[in-house]
Amino acid sequence: MSLSSRSIEHPSHSLGSASAAASVNIALIKYWGKADVDSNRPAVGSLSLTLDEWGSETTVTWLEKKESRAEHRFILNGQERLDSKVNKLLTHLLQYAEAEGHSWAKQGQVSAVVESKNTVPTASGLASSASGMAALGLAAWSALGWPNPSLNNDIHGGSQLIDLVRIGSGSAVRSLKGGLVRLESDGRTMTQLCERDEWSLALVICIVDPGPKAISSREGMERTRLTSPYYDRWVSSHPHDLNAATEAVNERDLGKLGELMEHSTFKMHAAMWSAKPPLRYLKAKSLMILDEVEQLRSRGSAAWATMDAGPHVKILCERSEAAHIATHMKSIIGQRSVLIRHPGRAAHIIGEKRDV
């Protein structure tokens, strides 16, 4: 909810601040459904591509506030907002810090000012929450002066930063790594399958409707789990797709990966459509784009489509084919609705300031 666009003042004593940048990631093998709602533990693993030049830059400043109860503030693209996910992530971090023996972290004595810039339309199924929560988690963590475990090449289960970011968004943890990333169903164990420059892939993003989605992923996942007759089959058939897609990445076999990606997306949407009431994120235009992707393929293009909890269609292809595919899609849905993105880097720190 937008409150106002007041300028940001930091009247209280600052403990430190850090800025982080993170890019969106798009799942090729989807995560949909939670094994545990509170910790946001997924019911299935996933495999994703982190993109370049598209995401969030976030600065977190921790303030010590002795007089009155401290509240976190969140300013997105210059507008102050209330966001329960942001509050939940920050509260979780303070609880963790307190449990680790940091007495300053006592609830109500420390608060954060979060200033974030998003270059992706917010909450419209373009994974803005992934980049947003990864940048927030990393900045909030680093502003306390703690080292970034994601700089370490191997993020194994147990990383508190992963758990923290997952509190905000289950898919966001994948943005802590660049290139092609596999996340296990524990929601914590991540493997980078391929560096961003090791396979010259591209995603052609067809934006169908940039407005916010009517039903959040969180609510949609629970509705699917509770009411879709296909949900159990979605979960039980998922490991096969994840393992086969991992093999396809290791073999750099785009045809195999593309087919598995489409299978995963259609299975996920079938489970969504069969929920009660149905979750139909796709629009007529999305289906029209899917027809075009089939046409492109029948004319020899190596192109496959994927859709998330929104109407947009993302087309996976080789980098060398992206311009041609994008030109074709622009002629159908308009010049400004089509973008090309390439594999991108992991979330990273872009500035730090220690005041104590």
Could you list the residues that contact ligand PMV (CB under 6 A)? 27, 30-32, 46, 129, 169-171, 217-218, 308-309
Provide the strand spans (E) within 243-308.
304-306
To the nearest whole angstrom, how small is the minimum distance from the Cβ of residue 9 to ligand PMV?
32
Q: Pick between residue 92 and residue 328 the one whose CB is nearest to ligand PMV.
A: 92
To the nearest whole angstrom, how small is the minimum distance from the Cβ of residue 125 to ligand PMV?
7
To the nearest whole angstrom, how small is the minimum distance from the Cβ of residue 270 to ligand PMV?
13
To the nearest whole angstrom, how small is the minimum distance from the Cβ of residue 134 to ligand PMV?
11
Q: Pick between residue 310 and residue 325 the one whose CB is nearest to ligand PMV.
A: 310
Residue 323 to residue 248: CA distance in whole angstroms: 24
Q: Pick between residue 59 and residue 175 the one whose CB is nearest to ligand PMV.
A: 175
- 109 C-beta neighbours (distance < 10 Å), count: 15
Q: Pick between residue 130 and residue 144 the one whose CB is nearest to ligand PMV.
A: 130
Backbone angles phi, psi at 113, to 5 degrees: -110, 120
By DSSP bridging, strand 73-76 and strand 110-118 are parallel
Q: Pick between residue 170 and residue 343 the one whose CB is nearest to ligand PMV.
A: 170
Range 153-157, long-range pairs (CB < 8 A, 24+ positions): 153/192, 155/189, 155/190, 156/188, 156/189, 157/186, 157/188, 157/189
To the nearest whole angstrom, how small is the minimum distance from the Cβ of residue 116 to ligand PMV?
16
Q: Pick between residue 17 and residue 264 the one whose CB is nearest to ligand PMV.
A: 264
Helices (H), ranges, 149-253: 160-168, 217-227, 231-250
DSSP assigned state of 214: S
To the nearest whole angstrom, how small is the minimum distance from the Cβ of residue 309 to ligand PMV?
4
- Which stretch of DSSP H or E encloses residue 182? strand 180-183
Q: Pick between residue 62 and residue 281 the one whose CB is nearest to ligand PMV.
A: 281
To the nearest whole angstrom, how small is the minimum distance from the Cβ of residue 20 to ligand PMV?
18
Residue 266 to residue 26: CA distance in whole angstroms: 15
Is 16:355 a contact under the CB 8 Å cutoff? yes
Cα–chain center distance at 45: 14
